[in-house]
Chain A
Amino acid sequence: MTALAEAPLTVVPPQRKRKIPGWALGMIGVAGAIALLSTTSYLTGVPQLTSTGTIQTAVRLALPILLAGLGGLWAERAGVVNIGLEGMMIMGTWGAAWAGYQWGPWAALIAAAVFGALGGLLHAIATVTFGVNHIVSGVAINLLGAGLTKYLSTLLFFPISHNPRESPAVPKFDTYSAGGLSDWLGSLEADQRVGISDVAGILRGLVTGVSPLTMLAVVFVVGSYLVLWRTRFGLRLRSCGENPTAAESLGVNVYLYKYAAVVMSGALAGVGGAALVLNPGNPGYLEGQTNGRGFIGLAAMIFGNWRPGGLLGGAALFGYADGLQLRSGGKTFLALIYGAVLLLAVLVVWQLVRRRWFAAATGIVAAGLLYGVYYSVDEVPSELTAYAPHLVTLVVLAVASQRLRMPAADGVVYRRG
Chain B
Amino acid sequence: MSSSTSADLPAAIGDPEGPPAVVLSGITKRFPGVVANSDVHLSVRVGEVHALCGENGAGKSTLMKILYGMQQPDEGTIDVAGERVHFRTPADAIKVGIGMVHQHFMLADNLTVQENVVLGAEALHGIGGKARKRILELAGRTGLSVDPGVLVERLGVADRQRVEILKVLYRGAKVIILDEPTAVLVPQEVDELFATLRGMQEQGFTFLFISHKLDEVRAIADSVTVIRRGTTVGTADPKAVSSRQLAEMMVGSELPSPETRESTVTDREVLRVEGLALVAQEGTRPVLDGIDLVVRSGEVVGIAGVEGNGQTELVETIMGMRRASAGHVVLVDAEGNAKDLVKLGTLARREAGIGYVPEDRHRQGLLLTQPLWANRILGYQTRRPTAKGAWLDIAGAKQDTQRIVEEFDVRTPGIDVAAAALSGGNQQKLVVGRELSGDPVLLIASHPTRGVDVGAQALIWDEIKRARAAGLAVLLISADLDELIGLSDTIKVMLRGRLVADADPNTVTPEDLGSAMTGAGSTSDAVAALDTPVDEEGER
Q: Decide whether A and B assemble into one complex.
A: yes
Given A3-B191, A11-B156, also A232-B122 (CB < 8 A) = yes
Residues of chain B with a CB closer than 8 A to A215's CB:
none
Evaluate contact between B106 and A408: CB separation under 8 angstroms.
no
Evaluate contact between B120 and A242: CB separation under 8 angstroms.
no
Residues of chain B with a CB closer than 8 A to A3's CB:
143, 188, 191-192, 195
Evaluate contact between A4 and B143: CB separation under 8 angstroms.
yes
Interface string of A14-43 (1 = CB under 8 A from B): 110000000000000000000000000000
Interface string of B296-327 (1 = CB under 8 A from A): 00000000001111000000000000000000
Q: Does A362 contact B (CB under 8 A)?
A: no
Q: How far is the CB of A156 from chain B (nearest CB, A)?
A: 45
Evaluate contact between B153 and A13: CB separation under 8 angstroms.
yes
Evaluate contact between B119 and A252: CB separation under 8 angstroms.
yes
Evaluate contact between A250 and B106: CB separation under 8 angstroms.
yes
Q: Does A235 contact B (CB under 8 A)?
A: yes
The CA-CA distance from A11 to B145 in the complex, in Å, is: 15
Interface string of B110-151 (1 = CB under 8 A from A): 110001101111110011100000000000100101000000
Evaluate contact between A2 and B90: CB separation under 8 angstroms.
no
Partner of A243, one of B100, B106, B155, B191: B106
List B67-97 residues whose CB lies under 8 Å from chain A.
70, 89-91, 94
Interface string of B511-522 (1 = CB under 8 A from A): 000000010000
Q: How far is the CB of A327 from chain B (nearest CB, A)?
A: 40
Give the residue among A2, A8, A12 with the most B Cβ atoms within 10 A: A8
Residues of chain B with a CB closer than 8 A to A248's CB:
90
The CA-CA distance from A405 to B108 in the complex, in Å, is: 13
Of chain A, the residue at the smallest CB distance from B92 is A251
Evaluate contact between B111 and A238: CB separation under 8 angstroms.
yes
Residues of chain B with a CB closer than 8 A to A48's CB:
none
List A231-258 residues whose CB lies under 8 Å from chain B.
231-232, 235-236, 238-239, 242-243, 245-252
Given A11-B156, A249-B90, also A405-B110 (CB < 8 A) = yes
Residues of chain A with a CB closer than 8 A to B60's CB:
none
Evaluate contact between A9 and B118: CB separation under 8 angstroms.
no
Partner of A10, one of B123, B157, B199: B157
Evaluate contact between B143 and A252: CB separation under 8 angstroms.
no
The CA-CA distance from A249 to B99 in the complex, in Å, is: 10
Evaluate contact between B107 and A1: CB separation under 8 angstroms.
no
Partner of A14, one of B106, B119, B159, B285: B285
Of chain B, the residue at the smallest CB distance from A2 is B195
List B247-296 residues whose CB lies under 8 Å from chain A.
283, 285
A interface: dominant SS = loop
Evaluate contact between A10 and B189: CB separation under 8 angstroms.
yes
B interface: dominant SS = loop
Partner of B308, one of A10, A15, A243, A252: A10
Residues of chain B with a CB closer than 8 A to A417's CB:
70
Partner of A408, one of B108, B145, B188, B306: B108
Residues of chain A with a CB closer than 8 A to B110's CB:
242, 405, 407-408
Residues of A in contact (CB 8 Å), total: 34
The CA-CA distance from A84 to B128 in the complex, in Å, is: 35
Evaluate contact between A6 and B106: CB separation under 8 angstroms.
no
Residues of B in contact (CB 8 Å), total: 52
Q: How far is the CB of A240 from chain B (nearest CB, A)?
A: 9
Q: How far is the CB of B418 from chain A (nearest CB, A)?
A: 16
Interface string of A210-248 (1 = CB under 8 A from B): 000000000000000000001110011011001101111
List B172-193 residues whose CB lies under 8 Å from chain A.
186, 188-189, 191-192
The CA-CA distance from A246 to B160 in the complex, in Å, is: 13
Residues of chain A with a CB closer than 8 A to B186's CB:
9-10
Q: Does B243 contact A (CB under 8 A)?
A: no
Q: How far is the CB of B132 from chain A (nearest CB, A)?
A: 13
Q: How far is the CB of B57 from chain A (nearest CB, A)?
A: 19
Q: Does B467 contact A (CB under 8 A)?
A: no
Given A10-B307, A251-B91, also A239-B156 (CB < 8 A) = no
Residues of chain A with a CB closer than 8 A to B283's CB:
14
Of chain B, the residue at the smallest CB distance from A405 is B110
Partner of B127, one of A2, A232, A246: A232
Residues of chain B with a CB closer than 8 A to A247's CB:
108, 119-120
Q: Does B447 contact A (CB under 8 A)?
A: no
Q: How far is the CB of A189 from chain B (nearest CB, A)?
A: 44
The CA-CA distance from A230 to B196 in the complex, in Å, is: 33
Residues of chain A with a CB closer than 8 A to B91's CB:
251
The CA-CA distance from A77 to B123 in the complex, in Å, is: 22
Q: How far is the CB of A95 from chain B (nearest CB, A)?
A: 35
Evaluate contact between B306 and A251: CB separation under 8 angstroms.
no
Given A3-B195, A10-B157, A10-B308, also A235-B127 (CB < 8 A) = yes
Residues of chain A with a CB closer than 8 A to B140's CB:
4
Of chain A, the residue at the smallest CB distance from B114 is A235
Of chain B, the residue at the smallest CB distance from A244 is B108
Evaluate contact between B158 and A8: CB separation under 8 angstroms.
yes
The CA-CA distance from A407 to B89 in the complex, in Å, is: 26
Residues of chain B with a CB closer than 8 A to A245's CB:
106
Q: Does B109 contact A (CB under 8 A)?
A: yes
Partner of A2, one of B158, B188, B196: B196
Of chain A, the residue at the smallest CB distance from B110 is A242
The CA-CA distance from A230 to B128 in the complex, in Å, is: 8
The CA-CA distance from A10 to B128 in the complex, in Å, is: 29
Partner of A9, one of B109, B115, B120, B518: B518
Residues of chain A with a CB closer than 8 A to B192's CB:
2-4, 6
The CA-CA distance from A235 to B112 in the complex, in Å, is: 11
Evaluate contact between B154 and A11: CB separation under 8 angstroms.
no
Given A250-B90, A250-B119, A251-B120, also A11-B158 (CB < 8 A) = no
Residues of chain A with a CB closer than 8 A to B106's CB:
243, 245-246, 249-250
Q: Does B50 contact A (CB under 8 A)?
A: no
Q: How far is the CB of B26 from chain A (nearest CB, A)?
A: 24
Give the residue among A10, A245, A248, A249 with the most B Cβ atoms within 10 A: A10
Residues of chain A with a CB closer than 8 A to B119's CB:
235-236, 239, 246-247, 250, 252
Given A245-B106, A249-B70, A408-B108, also A10-B90 (CB < 8 A) = no
Q: How far is the CB of A292 from chain B (nearest CB, A)?
A: 29
Given A2-B143, A4-B140, A247-B120, also A13-B109 (CB < 8 A) = no
Q: Does B45 contact A (CB under 8 A)?
A: no
Residues of chain A with a CB closer than 8 A to B157's CB:
10
Residues of chain B with a CB closer than 8 A to A230's CB:
127-128
Evaluate contact between A243 and B195: CB separation under 8 angstroms.
no
Evaluate contact between A235 and B122: CB separation under 8 angstroms.
yes
Of chain B, the residue at the smallest CB distance from A13 is B154
Given A9-B188, A250-B167, A251-B91, also A235-B115 (CB < 8 A) = yes
Of chain B, the residue at the smallest CB distance from A232 is B122
Interface string of B490-515 (1 = CB under 8 A from A): 00000010000000000000000000
The CA-CA distance from A4 to B140 in the complex, in Å, is: 8
Of chain B, the residue at the smallest CB distance from A1 is B195
Residues of chain A with a CB closer than 8 A to B191's CB:
3
List A392-411 residues whose CB lies under 8 Å from chain B.
405, 407-408
Of chain A, the residue at the smallest CB distance from B520 is A9
Binding site for B on A (CB under 8 A): 1-4, 6, 8-15, 230-232, 235-236, 238-239, 242-243, 245-252, 405, 407-408, 417
Binding site for A on B (CB under 8 A): 70, 89-91, 94, 100, 102, 105-111, 115-116, 118-123, 126-128, 140, 143, 145, 153-159, 167, 186, 188-189, 191-192, 195-196, 199, 283, 285, 306-309, 496, 518
Q: Could you list 17 further interchain pairs (A-B, Cβ under 8 angstroms) beyond the known A245-B106, A251-B90?
A: A2-B195, A3-B188, A3-B191, A9-B186, A9-B518, A10-B159, A11-B156, A11-B309, A12-B154, A235-B118, A235-B119, A239-B119, A243-B106, A247-B119, A250-B119, A250-B121, A251-B94
In the complex, 9 of the A-B residue pairs with CB atoms within 8 angstroms, ordered by the A residue number, are A3-B191, A4-B195, A10-B156, A10-B306, A11-B307, A14-B285, A236-B120, A243-B108, A246-B108
